[in-house]
């Protein structure tokens, strides 16, 4: 969620950066409401100043001018009603602004290149059974990834897989992307998580963190559930795009001045897994039109898949600045006694497990059909360093 005060003070610049994301962004209604608020706020403040002055005048009149006192009482009643009316109007405008604000994406950082699609970045299907050694390999990859990240300063969490509407709203999945979510029926509505980012980011919702201890770094394994409603016809066969898949997620809570450095470090943490597995990969800085809704800056890590003769995304690492923290009221106190500030939140895949498995199978396959596994997976596979068909 955007800072409305910042938007109001920098409206044209904000519109320009948001428009760089592409899509049908119409801020006409937003602009009209902000203009209405800009008129109402000083008008209400002027009425309050008049009321304060009348109160002072009443104190003087109370001593020696009963007639004037009575007249001032009438003026105060009228002023009080006017103030109440304007407060009601302001509250209505503010409520409508906040509803529209939920649909606005984060502002791309100035370092993010402008572009519309992935081609402009800088240098009943969709369910699957794993069986036997492939199931074991998937499980091994999860344990391996978690061990890599915990050895690099992350604390492991095991999050819930069902969350509330409010929890999904904090991270930006709702209201904009509700069609892509799986949810339960009935009055006790819950959503299956699309990524562990959702519950882990909410781990510190409504808290004031100790700024001297930041950044906090978490890693979490979870299944991920996505309806992919807007992706009809894309990768409907194979293991690349599934309604249910496994992922190890990285989430950070940082001070604003730390967050860009922590983003670079997160990318290095994700690529460390690929380096240890010996998988060829590249890092792409996404352009404005290809970033996620909540992100201000995103890097994609892509792994080489020889079977497709292309690089495919295996991790996406994003700095969400204070966009999610504002929704979730996630704050930190810079030092004892100082006023709390909004945290910056970051998230990234460390990695998508199914796509890592595909990359290992394609890159490790021999002419006889067997697959050579990286030595680092030996301890997680009972000492096995290859896969052979039964």
As a whole number of angstroms, the distance between CA 174 and CA 328 comes to 13
Q: Which of 313, 333, 362, 384 is catalytic?
A: 313
Residue 177 CA from chain centroid, whole number:
12
In the numeric block, which tokens belong to residue 310?
């292309």
Question: CA-CA-CA-CA torsion for 241, 242, 246, 252, nearest 10 degrees?
Answer: 60
Tell me the average pLDDT across 115-119: 70
Model confidence at 88, pLDDT cuts 50, 70, 90, reads: very high
Q: Which of 126, 226, 265, 331 is catalytic?
A: 226
Ranges of beta strands (E only) in the chain are 155-157, 162-163, 191-192, 208-210, 216-225, 244-254, 281-285, 297-305, 310-319, 331-333, 341-342, 344-352, 371-372, 386-387
Model confidence at 70, pLDDT cuts 50, 70, 90, reads: confident
Predicted confidence (pLDDT) at residue 185 exceeds the cutoff of 90: no
Please tell me the least confidently modeled range out of 3-7, 158-162, 232-236, 303-307. Answer: 232-236
The pLDDT score that the predictor gives to residue 168 is 97
Q: Which of 222, 295, 316, 349 is catalytic?
A: 316
Model confidence at 240, pLDDT cuts 50, 70, 90, reads: low
Tell me: cis bond preceding 175? Omega within 30 of 0 counts.
yes
Paired strand residues for 249: 220, 349
Predicted confidence (pLDDT) at residue 266 exceeds the cutoff of 90: yes
347-363 as b/e: b if 16+ CB within 10 A: bbbbbbbbbbbbbbbbb
The residue among 355, 344, 340 whose CA lies nearest residue 303 is 355
As a whole number of angstroms, the distance between CA 53 and CA 232 comes to 65
Higher pLDDT, residue 376 or 232:
376
In the numeric block, which tokens belong to residue 130?
């794993």
Predicted confidence (pLDDT) at residue 232 exceeds the cutoff of 80: no
Higher pLDDT, residue 105 or 232:
105
Average predicted confidence (pLDDT) for the chain: 90
Model confidence at 126, pLDDT cuts 50, 70, 90, reads: low
Predicted confidence (pLDDT) at residue 207 exceeds the cutoff of 70: yes
Kindly state the percentage of the chain with pLDDT values over 70.
92
255 is catalytic: no
Q: Which of 50, 96, 139, 241 is catalytic?
A: 241
Kindly state the percentage of the chain with pLDDT values over 90.
68
- Beta-carbon contacts of 256 under 8 Å, excluding residues fewer than 6 positions away, are 321, 322, 341, 342, 344
Tell me the average pLDDT across 32-39: 91
The pLDDT score that the predictor gives to residue 297 is 98
- Beta-carbon contacts of 274 under 8 Å, excluding residues fewer than 6 positions away, are 281, 301, 303, 314, 351
Model confidence at 234, pLDDT cuts 50, 70, 90, reads: low
Instruction: Please name the residue that has the structure tokens 């009601």.
Output: 88
Predicted confidence (pLDDT) at residue 204 exceeds the cutoff of 90: yes
Please give, one letter per residue, the 3-state secondary structure of 222-265: EEEECCCCCCCCCCCCCCCCCCEEEEEEEEEEECHHHHHHHHHH
The pLDDT score that the predictor gives to residue 36 is 93
Predicted confidence (pLDDT) at residue 115 exceeds the cutoff of 90: no
As a whole number of angstroms, the distance between CA 322 and CA 328 comes to 10
355 is catalytic: yes
302 is catalytic: no
Instruction: Please name the residue that has the structure tokens 């003070």.
Output: 9
200: left (phi over 0), alpha (psi -120 to 50) or beta: alpha
256 burial level (CB within 10 Å; 0-12, 13-18, 19+):
middle
Residue 242 to residues 133, 290, 317, Cα–Cα distance (Å): 20, 20, 20
Q: How many C-beta atoms surround the C-beta of residue 381 within 10 A?
A: 19
313 is catalytic: yes
316 is catalytic: yes
């Amino acid at each position: 969620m955007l800072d409305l005060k910042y938007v109001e003070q920098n409206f044209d610049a904000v519109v320009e950066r948001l428009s760089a994301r592409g899509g049908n962004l119409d801020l006409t209604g937003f602009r009209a409401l902000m203009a209405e608020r800009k008129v109402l706020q000083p008008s209400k403040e002027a009425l309050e100043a008049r009321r304060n002055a009348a109160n002072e005048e009443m104190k003087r009149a109370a001593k020696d001018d009963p007639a004037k006192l009575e007249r001032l009482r009438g003026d105060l009643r009228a002023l009080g009603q006017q103030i109440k009316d304007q407060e009601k109007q302001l509250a209505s405008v503010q409520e409508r602004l906040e509803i529209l604000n939920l649909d606005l994406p984060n502002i791309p950082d100035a370092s993010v290149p402008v572009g519309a699609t992935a081609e402009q970045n800088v240098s009943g299907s969709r369910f699957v059974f794993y069986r036997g050694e492939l199931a074991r390999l998937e499980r091994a990859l999860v344990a391996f990834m978690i061990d890599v990240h915990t050895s690099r300063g992350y604390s492991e969490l095991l999050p819930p897989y069902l969350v509330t509407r409010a929890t999904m709203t904090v991270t930006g999945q709702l209201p904009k992307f509700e069609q892509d979510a799986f949810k339960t029926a009935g009055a006790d509505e819950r959503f299956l998580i699309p990524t562990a980012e959702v519950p882990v980011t909410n781990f510190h919702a409504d808290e004031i963190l100790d700024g001297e201890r930041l950044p906090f770094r978490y890693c979490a394994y979870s299944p991920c559930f996505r309806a992919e409603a807007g992706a009809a016809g894309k990768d409907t066969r194979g293991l690349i795009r599934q309604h249910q898949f496994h992922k190890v997620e990285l989430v950070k809570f940082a001070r604003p001045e730390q967050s860009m450095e922590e983003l670079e470090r997160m990318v290095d943490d994700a690529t460390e897994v690929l380096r240890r597995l010996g998988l060829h990969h590249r890092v792409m800085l996404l352009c404005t039109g290809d970033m996620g809704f909540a992100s201000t800056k995103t890097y994609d890590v892509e792994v080489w898949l020889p079977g497709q003769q292309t690089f495919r995304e295996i991790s996406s690492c994003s700095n969400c600045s204070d966009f999610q923290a504002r929704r979730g009221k996630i704050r930190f106190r810079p030092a004892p006694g100082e006023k709390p500030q909004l945290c910056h939140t970051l998230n990234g895949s460390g990695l998508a497990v199914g796509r890592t498995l595909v990359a290992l199978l394609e890159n490790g396959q021999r002419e006889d059909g067997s697959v050579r596994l990286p030595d680092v997976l030996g301890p997680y596979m009972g000492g096995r360093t290859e896969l052979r068909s039964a």
